[in-house]
Amino acid sequence: MPLVNSTYDPPLFFKNGHCATLYAGVIRKVAGLMQQRERISLTDGDFLDLDWSFSAKPTHKVALLLHGLEGSAQRPYITGSAKQFNFAGYDACAVNFRGCSGESNLLFRSYHSGATEDLEAVVHFVLETKCYSKIVINGFSLGGNMALKYLGEGRKLPKEIKAVVAISVPCSLHSSLLQLLQPKNRLYAKRFKKHLVEKLVQKQLLFPDRISMEAIKKIKTLKDFDDVYTSTAHGFEDAMDYYTKSSCLPLLPNIRVPVLIVNSKNDSFLGTECYPIEEAEKNNHLYLEMPLYGGHVGFFGPQNITYTEKRAIKFLEEVL
């Protein structure tokens, strides 16, 4: 598809990418959403927690919401999206990835950018236990990459999956990593690493035969974390093998349902390869919008409704 011209033009303060990112991630609050938790069992003996919110009227439509790195179903970008989907007549199922619901998962493995087997498990659970005829997916950052990889891997998709909206997507994980390792992102990278290592220390206490404290102490960067834990716990050779095999970028040509990617040009987390311009131009199902502003999952909007929350609903109205 031709690239989508963006109309997003926030107030001056939020034209700064870091201001937009920090406001959305640290300051923004979303009130008034009631969520009900449901736990599902996975075939490998682990579990996922799903946080549901519902449309005011019975509906046959559901939105699956996928959070980003070290996020959860209670992050404002998830709860804000859930509210807008509920207002638009969708039930919302906010997925907490393994270990992200406030309780440690049971296995040594956890979640990662390419863990589409967990998304597939959620889709199957929803289809087998609920009564929805339309499923849409709204993924953010890591969750956006996972959703697009899920679509492009070549599996036979359930007919109920109608569209995906993916926000601030690191389509090339290595390209994104190189940005996160730059000085401009030092504070973000430090925060991510702190939370990841804290969880890994807890894993070490439960699985001392799988990883040592000596190995954990050697983790200085996010790439180190992926070399020491992400790759070894999830069957990859090393961090680079993980980035290569888990990125959605090479799979985008395979997508055959309507997809909107919104990646702002001032997103400090995204490198050049995270903007799939050529792939969008060659795939009639792939819409790419690149606003000048928005930061990383920022997109401030009036009345505490972000631009991308409105944009997701509008896109779905256009294609469904």
What are 34-88's pLDDT values in tens digits?
999 999 999 999 999 999 999 999 999 999 999 999 999 999 999 999 999 999 9
What are 137-160's pLDDT values in tens digits?
999 999 999 999 999 999 999 999
Residue 233 to residue 133: CA distance in whole angstroms: 36
Mean pLDDT of 216-233: 98
Query: Crossing angle of helices 239-246/173-180, nearest 10°?
Result: 130
Q: Count other C-beta atoms under 10 Å from residue 2's C-beta.
A: 9
Residue 152 is encoded by which pair of tokens? 């492009």
Mean pLDDT of 92-120: 98
The DSSP symbol for 4 reads: B
Cβ neighbors of 186 (< 8 A, separation 6 or more) are none
- What is the predicted pLDDT for the residue at 90? 98
- What is the predicted pLDDT for the residue at 151? 98
* pLDDT beyond 80 at 1: no
- What is the predicted pLDDT for the residue at 295? 98
- What is the predicted pLDDT for the residue at 176? 98
Mean pLDDT of 255-284: 98
Residue 295 to residue 179: CA distance in whole angstroms: 13
* pLDDT beyond 80 at 2: no
Share the mean pLDDT of the chain: 98
Backbone angles phi, psi at 286, to 5 degrees: -110, 120
* pLDDT beyond 70 at 284: yes
The 3-state DSSP class for residue 78 equals: helix
**Which of the four pLDDT bands, split at 50, 70 and 90, describes residue 103?**
very high
